Chains A and B, each alone.
Chain A
Amino acid sequence: MIVLDTGAILPRRGGIFGALSDAFWRHPKLLVFLMLTPPVLWFGIIYLGSLLALLLQSFYSLDEFSGLVVPEFTLSTYAQLFRPSNFDIIVRTVLMAAAVTLASGIVAFPIAYMAARYAKGKWKALFYLGVMLPLWSSYLVKVYAWKLILAKEGILNWVFESLRLTPLLDAFLSIPVIGGNSLSVSYTGTFLVFLYIWLPYMILPTQAALERVPVNLIDASGDLGATPFQTFWHVIFPLALPGLVAGSIFTFSLTLGDYIIPNIVGSSRQIIGQAVYAQQGSAGNIPLAAAFTVVPIVIMGLYLWMAKRLGAFDAL
């Protein structure tokens, strides 16, 4: 046995780190305070502060004649949101976001389910790589690529032509609202690009939620007499719902705020992101831009409240 020539209490560690370790051990709150201060300042002032400043702007108004912002409290800017031209933008955006979210959920779920339940080892790595790879390449490149795919001279048209299905595509494009001159200038085009770009944000949280569903719950459900479909509906789906809701928060809010995709692929009718961009830029109407920005925040708040009411977070 090695006998160490030391007392019961070891001497102080020397140096600044030794002293700091002792001080932090005696005053644990000091450490927490020092660790939290920078991020709280950053988050509080830069993140939330700028948002509050923006909200404040929405209660100002624009003088119609001088084009200057009048810094007096008013709700008139919010009233402007309800003008038909502006309200149409809101409705259009919410419908688009809802459609994109719903479609993302439908496309993402089977992929997430396969990855969570069946993919092991290198197949799982391949899954993550496949889902994330599009996120690592430039957003603009992807959107422009889609513009080319969807254009009248694009590959999709060529495929329809080769299969002698052009009349089918034309019939679809002649449908009002979702149709247009070509897919690249239609809502359908915008929708497809949104769906493609945001899909990883839906797949990953859904897969994480499904991964946490214990296999023995699935066994237990079958044991108690549930067919695979009943097990899916009564056990797997409710337990995956928080993940789907988390994913939908991404797809929904990202669609509500985006202005680049509809600018490149889509019709000339605006969605909220474009309206904000136009109002704060060329129109110089900061108050209206701010009021438009509040809309997605309110909608997301309502959405989460509804999701909670419907029990989406019961499994957490």
Chain B
Amino acid sequence: MTSAVSLQQVSRHFGPIRAMDAVDLEIAPGEFFAMLGPSGSGKTTCLRVIAGFEQPTAGHIEIFGETAEGVPPYRRNVNTVFQDYALFPHLNVLDNVAYSLMLRKVDKAERHRQAEDALAMVKLSGYGARRPGQLSGGQRQRVALARAIVNRPKVLLLDEPLGALDLKLRESMQEELKSLQRSLGITFIFVTHDQGEALSMADRVAVFSDGKVMQVGTPEEIYNRPNSRFVADFVGSSNLLPPDFTATITGQRAWASLRPEAIHITPSDGAAMQGRVTARSFMGSTVRLGLYVNGASLHAVVPASGNSANVDDMVGVLFAPEALHLMERET
């Protein structure tokens, strides 16, 4: 099966800066794909290269099997939801949504009908006559979404679409984006720096760092089996254990990651591994403990109920050896 988007050794350099460096990605049709990374990691450049706003310095891009390098954005059946929405301030909501149809010379009644349908899909029926300036951030976001899906693109690109929304709205929009993607069956490629968002929404995640793709996998793979210190550190709040520490447990010298929730706290008497509590913060249903064990700093997330360890207490530290994930990459 041909990929929806295929990047082969794609680089984009700005002078000496390698915004994208030999990126390989295969994104399947109908997939909800997240590109995750800190700012400056190249994920937005990657999105812009797929949209056609940036031309790659080197490499080959295919969109549904067709060569895309050198093809201008207006000839790509790929639409973008911009981070700050980029709605046209001089057009009302309906004309914003109908913009791409207007360019294709769809007659007025028909394009307004389709635009109304798209607005209904994002639950903004009846807002057509308003100006973008009269809408809230969340509503503008929905208009941007409606505008991008109205002509059913092959691929929808979303650049930090939820970044400017408050937490409550963000959570409900995550659900809606997911169900919209399922009902439309369009390939969604989603850029975010929020690992929680990437893990909860995406079918697969690519983690970017310094213009390179560090790891591609399902959220479970990325979370449970990070291949590098960077991924372990960036995705979630894993403990990173230095080779010396790992060697005492597994006998193998390698960096390892250990999820905080995999650590159990026992009474210190007779425990094989002991640690001192260095910090304690109450998180509601859980408690987050800072621990100092055998020269390494760890943190653990344990159930709040029945846990009375205080700062400076000695506790037993217990985890299953297989919870320790040894990483294949050095960095």
Taking Cβ atoms with an 8 Å cutoff, the residues of A that contact B are 214, 216-217, 219-227, 230, 234-235, 238-239, 311, 314-315
Interface residues of B in 45-83 (CB under 8 A from A): 51-53, 72-74, 78-80, 82
The 7 lowest CB-CB distance pairs between A and B, nearest first, are A220-B86, A224-B100, A315-B90, A222-B73, A216-B86, A238-B90, A223-B80
Tell me if B319 is interfacial: C-beta within 8 Å of chain A: no
**Residues A219 and B74 in contact, CB atoms below 8 Å apart:** no
Contacts of A230 in B (CB 8 A): 103
Contacts of A311 in B (CB 8 A): 90
**Residues A235 and B88 in contact, CB atoms below 8 Å apart:** yes
Contacts of B104 in A (CB 8 A): 225
Given contacts A216-B84, A222-B53, A224-B79, 6 further A-B contacts (CB under 8 A): A214-B86, A219-B73, A220-B82, A222-B74, A226-B99, A234-B99
The smallest beta-carbon distance between B272 and chain A, in angstroms, is 47
Tell me if B16 is interfacial: C-beta within 8 Å of chain A: no
Query: Known contacts A224-B103, A225-B104, A226-B74: does B80 contact A217 (CB below 8 Å)?
Result: no
**Residues B72 and A239 in contact, CB atoms below 8 Å apart:** no
**Residues A223 and B79 in contact, CB atoms below 8 Å apart:** yes
Q: Which of B84, B89, B90, B103 touches A226 (beta carbons < 8 Å)?
A: B103
The chain B residue sitting closest to A242, CB to CB, is B90
**Residues B99 and A223 in contact, CB atoms below 8 Å apart:** no
Q: List 18 A-B contacts (CB under 8 A).
A: A214-B86, A216-B86, A217-B88, A219-B80, A220-B86, A220-B87, A223-B73, A223-B74, A224-B151, A225-B104, A225-B151, A226-B74, A226-B99, A227-B74, A234-B99, A234-B103, A239-B89, A311-B90
**Residues B99 and A221 in contact, CB atoms below 8 Å apart:** yes
Question: What is the size category of the interface that chain B forms with chain A?
Answer: 20 to 34
Q: How many A-B residue pairs have CB under 8 A?
A: 61
- CA distance in complex: A267, B104 (Å): 51
Contacts of B89 in A (CB 8 A): 239, 315
Q: Which of B73, B79, B86 touches A217 (beta carbons < 8 Å)?
A: B86
- CA distance in complex: A217, B88 (Å): 7
Contacts of A225 in B (CB 8 A): 74, 100, 103-104, 151
Q: Which of A216, A224, A235 touches B147 (beta carbons < 8 Å)?
A: A224
- CA distance in complex: A26, B86 (Å): 44
- CA distance in complex: A216, B78 (Å): 16
**Residues B51 and A223 in contact, CB atoms below 8 Å apart:** yes
Contacts of B80 in A (CB 8 A): 219-220, 223
Contacts of B87 in A (CB 8 A): 220
**Residues A219 and B90 in contact, CB atoms below 8 Å apart:** no
- CA distance in complex: A272, B25 (Å): 70
Query: Known contacts A222-B74, A223-B51, A239-B90: does B82 contact A216 (CB below 8 Å)?
Result: yes
The smallest beta-carbon distance between B63 and chain A, in angstroms, is 14
Contacts of B99 in A (CB 8 A): 221, 224, 226, 234
The chain A residue sitting closest to B80, CB to CB, is A223
- CA distance in complex: A222, B88 (Å): 13
The smallest beta-carbon distance between A9 and chain B, in angstroms, is 38
**Residues A219 and B53 in contact, CB atoms below 8 Å apart:** yes
The chain B residue sitting closest to A238, CB to CB, is B90
The smallest beta-carbon distance between A244 and chain B, in angstroms, is 13
The smallest beta-carbon distance between A212 and chain B, in angstroms, is 10
The smallest beta-carbon distance between A300 and chain B, in angstroms, is 24
The smallest beta-carbon distance between B134 and chain A, in angstroms, is 13
The smallest beta-carbon distance between A224 and chain B, in angstroms, is 4
- CA distance in complex: A223, B51 (Å): 7
- CA distance in complex: A238, B89 (Å): 10
Bitwise interface map of B from 208 to 236 toward A, beta carbon under 8 Å scored 1, else 0 = 00000000000000000000000000000
Contacts of A239 in B (CB 8 A): 89-90
Interface residues of B in 157-206 (CB under 8 A from A): none
Contacts of B72 in A (CB 8 A): 222
- CA distance in complex: A238, B99 (Å): 14
The smallest beta-carbon distance between B147 and chain A, in angstroms, is 7
The chain B residue sitting closest to A315, CB to CB, is B90
